[in-house]
Amino acid sequence: MNLPHSTPRPDLILQVSGLCPPSCLQDTVTDKDRQNSRLDGGQEELPSNKLQQLQREQQRRRRRRRRTQGHEKKKKKKKEKLQVVVLSLNFLPLSVESTRSGSEECSRGSNPRCFFMMEEPATRELDMSLSDGASDDELPMTLPTDGSVRKGCDPFAQTQRSKLQHRRARINQQINKEMRMRAGAENLFRATTNNKVRETVAMELSFVNSNLQLLKEELEELNSNMEAYQTDSEAVNVPMIPLGLKETKEVDFTLSIQDFICEHYGEDSSLYEQEIRELMELRQAMRTPSRNQAGLELLMEYYNQLFYLDQRFFPPLRNLGVHFHWYDSLTGVPSCQRALAFEKGSVLFNIGALFTQIGARQDRSAAAGIDRAIDAFQRAAGAFNYLKENFSNAPSLDMSGPSLCMLVRLMVAQVQECIFERVTLTTRDAHFTSQLRLAQEAARVSDVYLLVQQTMTQPLMKDYVPFSWASMVQVKSEHFRALSHYYTAVALCDHMSSAEEEEEEEEEEKEERQEQEEAETAFLQFYVSAPVGPSLSLILRDPEKRRKLGKAHLRRAVIRHEEAMRVHGLCKILRKMDILQDVLSLTHKRSLDKYSELDREDDFDETAEAPEIQSQTHQKPDITPTDFSTVQVTDIFQRLGPLSVFCARARWGPVRLVLLQRREGGLGLTLRGDSPVLVAGVVPGGCAAEAGLREGDYIVAVDGDDCKWAKHSEVVHMLKSCSDRRVELSVVTLHSHDTQVERRAVMLSHGSDKENARQRLLGGAKGQSSASLLNWNRKKKSDGDGVSKRLGSTFSLSFGSIRDTEAMY
């Protein structure tokens, strides 16, 4: 049977071959062709030249698509190669050959900005997590079910202070990015020999430096914002200078601590995941402390935990491999170290900074608020002074010696200012000597702020301290000097001395005569040097001479007030502070009004120069050191065992399992001490000696039950309670115990860890001794139940000398 010749449909051929979609044929095959194919019984004819034309068109489209994809792949590879060059410039030693190849690619037309616009390899963090939290008691303190009861405040709280910290965190990240870009550009500029590349890099460096300058100015403006930390009271008080918190990145202790537990302590690290998580949660909470006593306790708790962490996991001649990242409090420059001393110093700095914020927010219109402010600023000075004396060679400028010295003096000056405010508040009488006392207190405040101003103008501090801080200190120095002259003028002109009363009334009582002598004595010691002219006693008795001397003091007061207002007007940040403007205007107007009262029309005598006032205070500021013992903490990793034995400085052998078979003569060993119990002696040929137990072993478990913290009686009870006459002991042997703790800071970091060495030598927290464990000390009980003796070295103790406090089993 002859079948009719059937021509295959070209649309099916093209669809199967992938050359053309069905939509392409709809434009080429007409309706008439389709109709003819149906009439011919499925037979469809298409000219061969049309089919070839369609195939050529599809081939051109495929070639164009491949060409476009090839260009995109080349661009992507070139971009990846440029990023690799930047990473090598930032973190690896440069080789001229590798850099030259990258420079040649850049000169052939690649975008030069790709060398510097790179993202930070670390995981990007939320700005909210770097906030130092809300103020005071605005946020409730939630109590967790386990772990530390102290938690940080809500980092997402939209308080005025938290908004400032959010902006500070964003600026710190931008500064870190710009500095990394600048480091890469400088490396490329030094390594390349291509002139075109050097010109391009120089231009990019100018851009980066400009951005850094803008970011620095923006951060300085944030540091100059003092109103967010002041009190909400309506009372008019001169603003105080607070200090912002140092910010840090998150730290993951998991792998480092787990590896150390497995390697050093020989235990399963997975059993301590809860402790590691608790430590990391405590550090995360420490980053956002609340501005109250709870926030201080949170920082102190983490600081105390760092002592245990140092003892447990930081041996003297090696580090844990954890990097601590902290930002400078004023400049935002990042610093990174692996030394735990840097972490402790930064936390201590934040404790002092938080004290400054607490002191600045107190309502100083009442005596109680002034006392709290004095206590806070004195504790801040103590924290900074302790940091200055115990931590040297700090990587960041805010923790350097000159900076800490400046901060200590600034805190002392603010304490002195609070003392003056309390004297002003408590001085109700308008007596002559009371006004002189106010004048000397104000002069003392001015002198202390003048010392702070001189410290801020030192070469190292001049470009570091914010301009608003230096301006505020100068304004306060001039302001309080003017107040001292004003109160002197008030004492001379507005108050009758007891000497004049004696002229009016011949018969006076003994109390008034005593007041007269006190007034004369106080006035004779009031000036630094006696003024030229009549004696002070004569001036005190002559009303006209007193008026002229008071007028001279008012003239000096007005000049000082005007100088304070001039310095205030030069700083843009201070001009925005309405409270400071009101205080300066009010005191200046008061001095002008008083001067107008004393100025007479017929007074043509030239006003004499007022002598300098001798500054004096009746309460000297005290630098109060931080008392960390007020916050009691428990070692998070206490399950590892007593810190005096199970620490990072001890070198242990592996845990051994010893199986003892009880005999009629006993186990054949002598135990001594507790927590942990020490094997003081082994009977030769006995059960313990045959099982491999050695003198000097520490018993850490009995039949699988942990007994590192067990007392002597408890271990004895566990040994006697074994009924099957078989006892399985887990013991470890102490090979050595390194006591040279001060070498660690020199070996591991640029900063000396004096504070860690001091705590180790003094025994650390809660009275734990860091002496050699092989020397047992006499420990007396407080209740008088007896004395447990730890005498001599167990390795040199003969087995035959068994004492009453030892027991043989």
pLDDT band, residue 383 (cuts 50/70/90): very high
**pLDDT in the model for residue 231:** 67
Report which listed range, 397-406, 666-675, 736-745, is most confident. Answer: 397-406
pLDDT of 561 > 60? The answer is: yes
Q: pLDDT per residue over 191-200, tens digit each?
A: 888 888 888 8
Under DSSP, the state recorded for 662 is: -
How is residue 223 written in tokens?
């540091």
- Asked if the model's pLDDT at residue 670 lies above 50, the reply is yes
pLDDT at 274: 94
Is the model more confident about 713 or about 444?
Answer: 444
Helix (H) or strand (E) holding 22: helix 22-25
Query: In this model, does residue 73 exceed pLDDT 90?
Result: no
Check residue 216 and give its pLDDT.
73
pLDDT for 484 beyond 90: yes
| Span 452-472, pLDDT tens digits | 999 999 988 988 998 999 999
**Which amino acid, one-letter code, is at 474?**
Q
The whole-number pLDDT of residue 703 equals: 85
Q: Is the pLDDT of residue 54 over 60?
A: yes
Fold of 650-737+774-808: Pdz3 Domain (2.30.42)
**Which range has the worst mean pLDDT, 200-209, 303-312, 455-464, 560-569?**
200-209
Band (766; pLDDT cuts 50, 70, 90): very low
The torsion of the CA quartet 738, 741, 746, 750, rounded to 10 degrees, works out to 130
- Does the pLDDT at position 615 exceed 60? yes
* Sign of the torsion formed by the C-alpha atoms of 401, 405, 411 and 414: negative
Q: How confident is the model at residue 38 (pLDDT cuts 50, 70, 90)?
A: very low
- At 312, the pLDDT band (50, 70, 90 cuts) reads very high
How does residue 47 score in pLDDT terms, banded at 50, 70 and 90? low
Share of the chain above pLDDT 90, in %: 28
How far, in Å, CA of 449 to CA of 444, rounded? 9
Separation of alpha carbons 416 and 240, rounded Å:
12
192 contacts 103 by C-beta, under 8 angstroms = yes
> How would CATH label the architecture of 238-419?
Alpha Horseshoe (1.25)
- pLDDT at residue number 482: 95
Contacts of 519 (CB under 8 A, 6+ apart): 432, 433, 497, 498, 499, 540
Give pLDDT tens digits for 212-239.
Answer: 878 777 777 666 666 655 666 656 678 8
Task: Give the residue with greater pLDDT, 125 vs 165.
Answer: 165
Q: Is residue 421 scored above 90 in pLDDT?
A: yes
Residue 616 pLDDT more than 70?
yes
Residue 117: what pLDDT?
Answer: 35
Q: Give yes or no for residue 805 having a pLDDT over 60.
A: no
Beta strands in 634-742 (DSSP E): 650-652, 656-661, 669-672, 677-682, 697-702, 705-706, 726-737
- Cα separation of 323 and 121, whole Å? 14
Of 142 and 521, more confident:
521
Name which of 165-169, 222-226, 408-412, 500-504 the model is least confident about. Answer: 500-504
| pLDDT-wise least confident of 566-570, 608-612, 722-726, 788-792 | 788-792
pTM, rounded to two decimals: 0.69
The answer to whether residue 75 scores a pLDDT higher than 60 is yes
Do residues 102 and 85 lie in contact, with contact meaning Cβ atoms separated by under 8 Å? yes
Residue 472 confidence (pLDDT): 94
Res 505: pLDDT: 52
Contact 671, 734 (CB under 8 A): no
- Rg (C-alpha) for the chain, rounded Å, is 40
Give pLDDT, residue 486: 94
* Separation between Cα atoms, residue 451 and residue 621, nearest integer Å: 15
What is the structure's pLDDT at 449? 97
Q: In the structure encoding, which two tokens stand for residue 486, read together?
A: 């004003």
Average pLDDT over residues 660-689: 83
Percent of the chain at pLDDT > 70 equals: 64
Q: For the ranges 142-151, 375-384, 390-399, which has the lowest average pLDDT?
A: 142-151
Mean pLDDT of 506-533: 64
Evaluate if residue 37 carries a pLDDT over 60.
no
Q: What is the pLDDT of residues 642-663, one digit of tens each?
A: 998 899 988 888 888 888 887 7
What is the arithmetic mean of pLDDT over 300-315? 94
Assigned token pair, 538:
């004569």
Pairing of strands 726-737, 697-702: antiparallel
| Residue 370 vs residues 331, 424, 808: alpha-carbon distances, Å | 31, 11, 66
Tell me what pLDDT residue 635 has: 94
Quote the pLDDT of residue 181. 82
Q: At residue 618, what are phi and psi to the nearest 5 degrees?
A: -95, 0
In 3D space, the residue among 354, 449, 468 whose CA is nearest the CA of residue 406 turns out to be 449
**Ranges of each domain in the chain:** 10-74, 87-222, 238-419, 427-633, 650-737+774-808
Q: What is the overall mean pLDDT for the chain? A: 74
- pLDDT tens for 352-381 read 999 999 999 898 989 999 999 999 999 999
Give per-residue pLDDT as tens, 697-741.
Answer: 899 888 888 898 988 888 888 888 776 668 888 888 887 765 444
